[in-house]
Amino acid sequence: MKTLVVPIDPLNIDVGKIDEAAATIKRGGLVAFPTETVYGLGADALNAEAVAGIFSAKKRPLDDPLIVHISQKSDLSRLTVQVPEKAVRLIEKFWPGPLTVVLKKTSLVPDIVTTGLNTVAVRMPSGAIALRLIDAAQTPIAAPSANLFGRPSPTLAEHVISDMEGRLDMVIDGGAPEIGIESTVVAFRGDEVVVLRPGGTTIEQIQEVTGSAVLCSENSPSIECPGKYPQHYSPNARVVLVGPGRGQAAKVMELAENFKKAGHRPGIMCVEEHAGAFPGQDTKILGSAEDAELCASRLFSIFREFDGEGYDIIIAEGIPEQGLGLAVMNRIRKAAGPA
Ligand code: TXA
Ligand code: MG
């Protein structure tokens, strides 16, 4: 299938083009579109056959459930039941925005969307193009990130094309998302709020609304933890993380020298504070270690830039795990794979 690239200016949305994309969704097609987090690969969430197309286009395992995107808070009641009070408070505060809630599903949601789970992940994005598209399609849109399974999430239409050309009907090119890292996924266990995946809404913000929230650890027993696949968000290059703290730059420099001696071509993804610390090495600046928002917005693009330039190892400097720094570090760790 030929993939159509349709540019839409998020500040001056062309309704005709949105309608064309919505028609593609309605007839069971696949449309990649920008949200405020990353590009999603969308299909009509209520059309099981269309949703099956998402899994095959992405080569996604059939046991990794999708997020359903809605354009109005009131649509949640069609998809979910037994919404706990803390979920209501979070939705009130953070929707539209980068927060996904996992709730008990209704029978309207096809099993393939949730890969057979009795819960469904739902979010109302704030990206203007995403909201208009869902509205025009008049159906909830199931959309994982629009990358091939295991690859870094796309933050530009060209990333979608480079992974998925010919595997979907249309890509809406709406430029770079505001946030650049995926939504935070939360579930509710008894009275507890569990963050299954840190993302664009920080755990500190969630705690402020709900009193407490815990990060899902890989060994929490009774709850589905995303990222059960140990390696994820990975560029082709091997990623090696060096955490923040004393001696970080010296450690990075030593690794780079050693990799070169062993015949590799390492690139360093460094924090701005260390921009001058690696003479003779190839570096790309993630952002200031103090500016987790900027780091989040640049991370996936930098992974793909290193790949495009043929590096086989990325030595990544970590940043403090506060605010969006938690999500940034989560993605770098997942990209690095099991230690
Ligand atoms: O920002 C985002 O969330 C982007 C944009 C496109 O909205 N979407 C995204 O989707 O990142 P995806 O499929 O790449 O990640 C969805 C995550 C997966 O890790 C999946 O395991 C988890 O949400 N998830 C979905 N349904 C779930 C459920 N019922 N229970 C637990 N986890 C669930
Ligand atoms: Mg993904």
pLDDT in tens, 288-324: 999 999 999 999 999 999 999 999 999 999 999 999 9
Number of the ligand closest to the Cα of 181: 1
CB 71 within 8 A of CB 134: yes
146 CB less than 6 Å from ligand 1? no
Q: Which residues, other chains included, contact 282 with Cβ-Cβ below 8 Å and sequence gap of 6+?
A: 266, 267, 268, 311
Instruction: Please indicate whether residue 256, judged by its CB atom, sits closer than 6 Å to ligand 1.
Output: no
Supply 117's token pair.
């789970």
Could you tell me the pLDDT band of residue 226, with boundaries at 50, 70 and 90?
low
Ligand nearest to the CA of 66: 1
pTM of structure:
0.96
| Best mutation site among 122, 185, 331 for ligand 1 pocket (most ligand atoms within 8 Å of CB) | 185
pLDDT of residue 247: 97
Res 181: pLDDT = 98
- Among the bound ligands, name the one nearest to the CA of residue 198: 1
* Helix residue spans in the chain (DSSP H): 15-26, 48-58, 76-79, 85-94, 111-114, 128-137, 157-164, 203-210, 248-261, 292-308, 325-336
In this structure, which topology does domain 4-215 adopt according to CATH? Answer: DHBP synthase (3.90.870)
Contact between 198 and 184 (Cβ < 8 Å): yes
Domain boundary assignment for the chain: 4-215, 238-336
Q: What is the arrangement of strands in the sheet containing 238-242, beginning at the earlier edge strand? A: 238-242, 313-317, 266-271, 283-287
238-336 CATH fold = Rossmann fold (3.40.50)
Amino acid at 263: G
Tell me the average pLDDT across 149-171.
97
The response to whether residue 64 sits with its C-beta less than 6 Å from ligand 1 reads yes
Q: What percent of the chain has pLDDT over 90?
A: 93
- Nearest-CA neighbor of 337 among 236, 237, 234? 234
pLDDT over threshold 80, residue 339 = no
Is the model's pLDDT at 97 over the cut of 80? yes
Q: Apex CA 165: angle with CA 163 and CA 169, to 5°? A: 125
For ligand 1, what atom is nearest to the CA of residue 114? 29
Judge if the beta carbon of residue 192 lies within 6 A of ligand 1: no
From the CB of 66, is ligand 1 less than 6 Å away? yes
Average pLDDT of the residues of the chain: 95
Q: Examine the pLDDT at 225 and tell me if it is beyond 90.
A: no
Pocket test for ligand 1, best of 131, 182, 297, 330 (most atoms within 8 A of CB): 182
Q: What are the start-end ranges of the H helices in 95-245?
A: 111-114, 128-137, 157-164, 203-210
How far, in Å, CA of 94 to CA of 125, rounded? 10
What 3-state class would DSSP assign to 246? coil
Whether the Cβ atoms of residue 89 and residue 191 lie closer than 8 Å to each other: no
Q: pLDDT band for 224, please (50, 70, 90 cuts).
A: low
Burial pattern 204-217, b for ≥16 Cβ within 10 A else e, equals ebbeebbeebeebe
Cβ-Cβ contacts under 8 Å for 232 (sequence gap 6 or more): 150, 334, 335
